[in-house]
């Protein structure tokens, strides 16, 4: 096997991991939060999503470190990231059990999912427009920070619901269930989503200034 294809294979594996995560998350819609089936579903969702998130870092590192980039990878990687993250967010919005006891609001209200989807559609459209004019439109640091915040938020919620701290004997991690911490991280996710969307829009405007559309 040509090693330059390894990042693309990791991206494909991440898509499979995302699908398996969704398969487990489907169980959270069928059972109440105190049901062993619900806890088990969150437990396994946490681990599959964690490995998927790590694979996102790994394929990006390999592509940059060794120059194993390709046109397929530039398209597939962000698409798989969107499927993985937005799919999990939809399940959070649909599940009544994935809540933090005493929280000051829903962990993923429907309007937040709409906002996340709108941002992704906007950036995808802008990238297509800019690249159709022969210019590169790579991901910015703010976009990567948004992805990190989203992944952390999802893992905290799934880990709490799946009793990960207790099962690993790391009870001190229970502080991650603090409703104000969860709420604060939620607004960090929303803020980074808005910020990154506006940043990409202004960058596209600068790049397309004077270019016939």
pLDDT per residue over 188-213, tens digit each? 999 999 999 999 999 998 888 866 55
Q: Which two tokens stand for residue 115?
A: 């906002």
Which pLDDT tens digit goes with each residue over 126-180?
Answer: 888 888 888 878 777 888 889 899 999 999 889 888 888 888 887 767 777 777 8
Q: Which long-range contacts (CB under 8 A, 24 or more apart) does 132-138 make?
A: 133/208, 133/211, 135/207, 137/203, 137/204, 137/207
Return the axis-axis angle of helices 6-27 and 36-66, rounded to nearest 10°.
Answer: 170
Which pLDDT tens digit goes with each residue over 21-61?
Answer: 999 999 988 888 888 899 999 999 999 999 999 998 888 88
- Which CATH number fits the domain 3-208, given the four candidates 3.30.460, 1.20.120, 1.10.600, 1.20.1740? 1.20.120
Q: Looking at residue 176, what DSSP letter applies?
A: G
Q: Assess contact for 147 and 56: CB atoms under 8 A.
A: yes
Q: Which of 8, 164, 125, 15 is nearest to 72 (CA)?
A: 8
Is residue 118 over pLDDT 90? yes
């Amino acid at each position: 096997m040509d090693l330059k294809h390894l990042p693309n294979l990791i991206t494909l594996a991440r898509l499979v991991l995302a699908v398996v995560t969704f398969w487990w998350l489907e169980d959270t819609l069928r059972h109440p939060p105190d049901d062993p089936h619900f806890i088990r579903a969150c437990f396994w969702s946490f681990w599959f999503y964690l490995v998927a998130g790590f694979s996102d870092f790994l394929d990006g590192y390999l592509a940059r470190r060794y120059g194993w980039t390709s046109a397929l990878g530039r398209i597939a990687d962000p698409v798989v990231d969107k499927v993985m993250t937005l799919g999990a967010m939809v399940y959070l919005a649909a599940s009544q059990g994935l809540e933090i006891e005493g929280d000051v609001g829903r962990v993923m209200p429907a309007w937040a999912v709409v906002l996340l989807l709108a941002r992704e559609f906007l950036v995808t459209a802008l990238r297509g427009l800019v690249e159709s004019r022969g210019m590169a439109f790579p991901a910015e640091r703010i976009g990567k920070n948004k992805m990190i915040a989203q992944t952390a938020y999802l893992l905290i919620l799934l880990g709490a619901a799946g009793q990960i701290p207790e099962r690993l004997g790391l009870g001190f991690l229970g502080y991650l269930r603090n409703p104000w911490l969860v709420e604060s991280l939620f607004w960090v996710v929303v803020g980074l989503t808005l910020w990154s969307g506006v940043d990409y829009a202004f960058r596209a405007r600068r790049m397309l200034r004077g270019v016939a559309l």
